[in-house]
Amino acid sequence: MAREIKQFQKQFDNLLAYWPNEDPELRKLRSKAFDQFKSLGLPTKQWEEWQFTDFSSLKKINFRLSQSKDLPQIPENISGRIPNSYLIYIVNGHYQKDLSEIPESISISTGIDHFQSNKELYIDNNNLNPFSALNTSMMNSGICIALDSNTVIDKPIQVIYSTIDILNPLMNHPRFIFQLGKNSEATIIEHYKGSTELAYFINPVSNVILEDNAKLCHFRIEEDDALANHIASTNYILNSDSQLNSVSTSSGSKLFRHNINLAFNNKGGYATINGLSTIKNDQHHDQHIIIDHFHNACQSEQLFKYILSDRSSGVFNGKVVVKENTQHTDADQANKNLLLSSDAIMNTNPQLEIYSEDVKCSHGSTTGQIDSEALFYLQSRGISKSKSIELIINGFAKDIVEQINNEDVKNYINTKVTNWIEEVLIDA
């Protein structure tokens, strides 16, 4: 057994010992998933879908599952709080019920309770992703938010998953489930925030299910510490005529990998999936998106943007699959990248895999540096060079920020992006 697998095995055994009275079915699920993880191992360069990302950092450090003793002193002001929203607060893997503000119209449950009443949701189909298997085997935190049919939530729900003041290299495997009943509407902010002196490993899986005609705005903000390894999967299932607006930003973590899988489970679904990654130093951010058009009259739009500085590297791999005999599919996919340094690397592969005739699909990708024409234009209007550059980068990010249809979230992201640009320009 490889050394790192042994290490994970030890943690797995500890977890089983820590919760000896777990539902036997959950135990079975965990064990099966762990076996699967062992048989797959960590991805190597030979794995087509993982080839551009190096996971050796996960081998070098022994990450330990977070325990109750790892609960830190809770800060007075919760960092990253977005105004005018409900709050679900989880710190170092521990749900803080008292600090959370939860709307009455939804039901919230933590892992175990939820598992018992929703076992079918825990079947792990994503069986070629070792991290997903690892999450199933060790899921130790997270929350389920369920909306009944016809419920409309008045304010966004902000889920803050924060990692602070850790004394050991910790790992957490949060499992989130967001379930929207028929005709329900909600805005959920899934927010990862970290500030540590040590490396940590966070491996979340979020399963998002939209029943018929439901509407969800899902904003995922990744601001883990620069020392973090953040490896995530988000799985969307869209039923008839449901609508998803997903925006995902990433700026923290040394190693970031996010798999987004979206399946239209019935006709008439509509999804926009957008992403913005702003990275610097030696950060490596890798996003893989698969959208399955398996039903008629579904529409998807993807736009992913990367801004890369210093020695950072980005990977974008998006795939649209249209199954045989589906009709009226409309899918659009775009990836645009801005390289700010001569050491940055971008790898992109926007793919179309189409088995049906009745489609309108397109994709595009561009990579380049700051447009010198635009720069000249701004400077000729008397704007300083650095201010001009800042404006251009900001303009580049704008498309994505504008997709956020909540003012408070938009302001938050806007500020973050602006700060990021300023920092990068000062360093340069």
16 contacts other proteins (rule: CB under 8 A) = no
Of the residues 353, 402, 407, 427, which one makes contact with other proteins according to CB under 8 A? 353
CB of 270 to other proteins, least distance (A): 19
CB of 343 to other proteins, least distance (A): 8
Using CB under 8 A as the binding criterion, the count of chain residues that bind other proteins stands at 34
Helix (H, G, I), strand (E, B) or coil at 367: strand
Q: Is the C-alpha dihedral spanning 387, 366, 271, 202 positive or negative?
A: negative
- Yes or no: say if 124 and 132 are a contact pair by the CB < 8 Å rule: yes
- How distant, in Å, are the alpha carbons of 23, 194, 272, 302, 349 from that of 404? 40, 23, 11, 14, 25
Of the residues 25, 113, 154, 357, which one makes contact with other proteins according to CB under 8 A? 357
364 contacts other proteins (rule: CB under 8 A) = yes
CA–CA gap between residue 294 and residue 326 (Å, rounded): 7
Which CB atom, from 25 or from 357, has the smaller least distance to other proteins? 357
Measured CA angle at 49 (ends 47, 55), to 5 deg: 65
Applying CB under 8 A, the span of 192-200, 248-256, 349-357, 410-418 interacting with other proteins comes to 349-357
Q: Residues 21-60: x/- map of binding to other proteins (CB under 8 A)?
A: ---------------------------x------------
344 contacts other proteins (rule: CB under 8 A) = yes
Applying CB under 8 A, the span of 107-115, 168-176, 347-355, 409-417 interacting with other proteins comes to 347-355
CB of 301 to other proteins, least distance (A): 14
CA–CA gap between residue 168 and residue 70 (Å, rounded): 9
Of the residues 21, 68, 342, 380, which one makes contact with other proteins according to CB under 8 A? 342
- Yes or no: say if 27 and 17 are a contact pair by the CB < 8 Å rule: no
110 contacts other proteins (rule: CB under 8 A) = no
Applying CB under 8 A, the span of 13-21, 152-160, 240-248, 361-369 interacting with other proteins comes to 361-369
61 contacts other proteins (rule: CB under 8 A) = no
Q: Is the C-alpha dihedral spanning 16, 22, 24, 26 positive or negative?
A: negative
355 contacts other proteins (rule: CB under 8 A) = yes
CA–CA gap between residue 170 and residue 157 (Å, rounded): 26
282 contacts other proteins (rule: CB under 8 A) = no
CA–CA gap between residue 47 and residue 135 (Å, rounded): 20
Of the residues 160, 339, 393, 424, which one makes contact with other proteins according to CB under 8 A? 339
CA–CA gap between residue 140 and residue 31 (Å, rounded): 14
Rounded to a whole number of angstroms, the distance between the first and last alpha carbons of the chain is 45
CB of 296 to other proteins, least distance (A): 12
For 30, other C-beta atoms within 10 Å of its C-beta total: 20
Q: Which parts of this chain interact with other proteins (CB under 8 A)?
A: 48, 324-325, 337, 339-342, 344-369
